[in-house]
A and B are shown apart, each in its own frame.
Chain A
């Protein structure tokens, strides 16, 4: 934590970059982290936690399960995305977290999903099931 803070100047516009680093490193932004960040940036804890709760990328609690982010936006819907989503839920059960994401910019090749930074296009029920089983 101290090492992440040391990388960033103590100014408010460093808040988002810091939160990204913390989220990437620990998988969530804990209350302790919020406290440390607030001290470093000279902000109140409420201000920092208000920012954390505003953005979907940051989570307050740890979730160790693997995550797949499935595009649920219109262009993917038009290519059978909802059916793929049903199969994803079924394959995932409680073991894998399936998150909705709205557009990955691969809209002519949907349905699409993302695991970490890895993109997967042209999904169908069989492929999404195989992807999730492999997580």
Chain B
């Protein structure tokens, strides 16, 4: 009998350690694995392929006695939430032990690096370009083009920087990948090194992710001989959301304030310590071992339009079946929220979903037929960002959410440009006045003006994208803004 329980941070936060401990008290060995990503079922206990979740320490005796039907979910690998996915990046999730080099190699690990070692730098870049892989961190910039720029840039020192500063609410794919399959990220970085001529990489992880930091550090130590002469250093952020912006992240690694740098110069020419630098998100780098091992074609076959491959969608907030759902681009937002996510956790109607983190737009159910695809989202004034979907029920106050967007921007602004630094504060104040029922129409115009200024006058996404949540809330949920004015006028 093999008992498996994830040691992913979410499982642990839900009590997985206590459950594992209880099994040990009954004399059983527990294998700690990566998470399947079915977060509503964590802690999820797997015994010979059969799942029980969410399991508490008090359930252990019943599970062992075969009397835990209430939490028995059947064969995990066949669970509808798992069976409906296309898992390329998260193919190992749930199956392997995160820090086991044996498990990694036995499941095809290092295959991409082996291929890459047999190719020229140019050929590796060519393969990544043909796969259509785009940066998964937000902007969706083609990875191959970025790599090629660094490959061709003059200079003997070059760097690969992995942006693991996943600060967006509603996103956790980077965290899960680093905690569940850290060698794949390491392999991806080593491939990027070969492709560009860099022999040093940094993984910059936010300090809010101590479990991911510990796992990555351990994994880097274990994998060091296998990726040599390429070397990786793990660096920890210090609580600044703006460091998820690539140029401020570079400043932060250099030991400076995490202020955004003006572009150009592009990091690909003049990046870390002034050297040509590839800076990619965790999921982007982690997708490249597959591309190299299985070929560009195999990857490009998934997806729709110019959005190739798969996207690990993260279902979060007030959602019944929250967790990680990897799927080819093209599935609709409504399918994700209602069918896969099962609607809200508390059974109330879904009123709004925010896609793409705190800088992403809010959508009403009326837009649920929007396909999950970069271009389709742009067409409805939204962003996919890092693929997080946060669900709200009908009790949400959209004026409060719009206010929060400004508040968040004000709290996290790096202060370099005026529209962001001052605009966010003014925006919050204006929202406050509006919420108090003061001159609604005038204040709304003012907010719209301010958003326009922030959008065009900000140096980076923090100031430039705050208008997305604000304006989408106003556009799609006007009743939350107007009603106050009417109530105050009466």
Residues of A within 8 A of B6 (CB): none
- Whether the pair B39, A109 counts as a contact (CB closer than 8 A) is yes
* Chain B: interface residue total (CB-CB under 8 A): 61
Q: Which of B375-383, B388-396, B434-442 contacts A (4 or more CB under 8 A)?
A: B388-396
8 Å CB contact of B254 from A12, A102, A112: A12
Shortest beta-carbon distance from A120 to chain B in Å:
6
Given contacts A79-B318, A107-B169, contact A51 B14 (CB under 8 A): no
- Whether the pair B14, A78 counts as a contact (CB closer than 8 A) is no
Asked whether B385 is an interface residue with its Cβ less than 8 Å from the other chain, the reply is no
- Whether the pair B238, A76 counts as a contact (CB closer than 8 A) is no
- Whether the pair B39, A105 counts as a contact (CB closer than 8 A) is no
Given contacts A20-B238, A102-B241, A107-B317, contact A117 B210 (CB under 8 A): yes
Given contacts A50-B257, A106-B9, contact A16 B236 (CB under 8 A): yes
Residues of A within 8 A of B345 (CB): 79
Asked whether B175 is an interface residue with its Cβ less than 8 Å from the other chain, the reply is yes
- Whether the pair B238, A19 counts as a contact (CB closer than 8 A) is yes
8 Å CB contact of A120 from B13, B257, B259: B13
Asked whether A67 is an interface residue with its Cβ less than 8 Å from the other chain, the reply is no
Asked whether A101 is an interface residue with its Cβ less than 8 Å from the other chain, the reply is yes
Shortest beta-carbon distance from B237 to chain A in Å:
8
Shortest beta-carbon distance from B294 to chain A in Å:
29
Tell me the dominant secondary structure on chain B's binding face.
Answer: mixed
- Whether the pair B396, A121 counts as a contact (CB closer than 8 A) is no
Asked whether A77 is an interface residue with its Cβ less than 8 Å from the other chain, the reply is yes
Shortest beta-carbon distance from A5 to chain B in Å:
14
8 Å CB contact of A78 from B210, B241, B318: B318
8 Å CB contact of A109 from B42, B167, B210: B42
Shortest beta-carbon distance from A49 to chain B in Å:
11
Shortest beta-carbon distance from A78 to chain B in Å:
4
- Whether the pair A73, B239 counts as a contact (CB closer than 8 A) is no
Residues of A within 8 A of B354 (CB): 74
Chain B positions 165-181 with a Cβ under 8 Å from a chain A Cβ = 166-172, 174-175
Shortest beta-carbon distance from A68 to chain B in Å:
14
Q: How far is the CA of A127 from the CA of B166 in the complex (A)?
A: 27
Given A12-B254, A105-B209, A106-B10, 13 new contacts (CB under 8 A): A16-B238, A51-B256, A54-B240, A54-B259, A75-B317, A101-B239, A102-B169, A102-B408, A105-B10, A105-B166, A105-B212, A106-B172, A109-B10
The chain B residues found within 8 Å of chain A, CB to CB, are 9-10, 12-14, 39-40, 42, 166-172, 174-175, 207-212, 235-241, 252-259, 273, 314-319, 322-323, 345, 354, 358, 388, 390-393, 396, 401, 404, 408, 412, 414
Asked whether A103 is an interface residue with its Cβ less than 8 Å from the other chain, the reply is yes
Given contacts A106-B13, A109-B13, A109-B39, contact A73 B358 (CB under 8 A): yes
Who on chain A is nearest to B172 by CB?
A105
- Whether the pair A103, B167 counts as a contact (CB closer than 8 A) is yes
Given contacts A56-B239, A102-B167, A104-B208, contact A119 B257 (CB under 8 A): no
- Whether the pair B209, A107 counts as a contact (CB closer than 8 A) is no
* Chain A: interface residue total (CB-CB under 8 A): 41
Shortest beta-carbon distance from A85 to chain B in Å:
13
Give per-residue flags for A10-25: 1 if the beta carbon is below 8 A from chain B beta carbons, else 0.
Answer: 0111111101100000
Chain A positions 67-110 with a Cβ under 8 Å from a chain B Cβ = 73-79, 101-110
- Whether the pair B317, A57 counts as a contact (CB closer than 8 A) is no
Who on chain A is nearest to B212 by CB?
A105
Residues of A within 8 A of B210 (CB): 117
Residues of A within 8 A of B255 (CB): 11-16, 41, 51
Who on chain A is nearest to B322 by CB?
A108
Who on chain B is nearest to A121 by CB?
B13
Asked whether A45 is an interface residue with its Cβ less than 8 Å from the other chain, the reply is no
Who on chain B is nearest to A47 by CB?
B256
Q: How far is the CA of A74 from the CA of B166 in the complex (A)?
A: 15
Q: How far is the CA of A117 from the CA of B209 in the complex (A)?
A: 9
Q: How far is the CA of A11 from the CA of B255 in the complex (A)?
A: 9
9 A–B pairs (Cβ distance < 8 Å), ordered by A: A12-B256, A15-B256, A16-B235, A16-B255, A79-B317, A106-B10, A107-B316, A117-B211, A120-B13
Shortest beta-carbon distance from A115 to chain B in Å:
11
- Whether the pair A112, B240 counts as a contact (CB closer than 8 A) is no
- Whether the pair B253, A13 counts as a contact (CB closer than 8 A) is yes
- Whether the pair B254, A13 counts as a contact (CB closer than 8 A) is yes
- Whether the pair B316, A119 counts as a contact (CB closer than 8 A) is no
Shortest beta-carbon distance from A127 to chain B in Å:
11
- Whether the pair B317, A74 counts as a contact (CB closer than 8 A) is yes
Residues of A within 8 A of B39 (CB): 106, 108-109
Who on chain B is nearest to A19 by CB?
B238
Residues of A within 8 A of B209 (CB): 104-105
Residues of B within 8 A of A131 (CB): none
Given contacts A75-B170, A78-B317, A121-B14, contact A107 B241 (CB under 8 A): no
Shortest beta-carbon distance from B161 to chain A in Å:
12
- Whether the pair A74, B401 counts as a contact (CB closer than 8 A) is yes
Q: How far is the CA of A71 from the CA of B202 in the complex (A)?
A: 27
- Whether the pair B317, A51 counts as a contact (CB closer than 8 A) is no
- Whether the pair A78, B392 counts as a contact (CB closer than 8 A) is yes
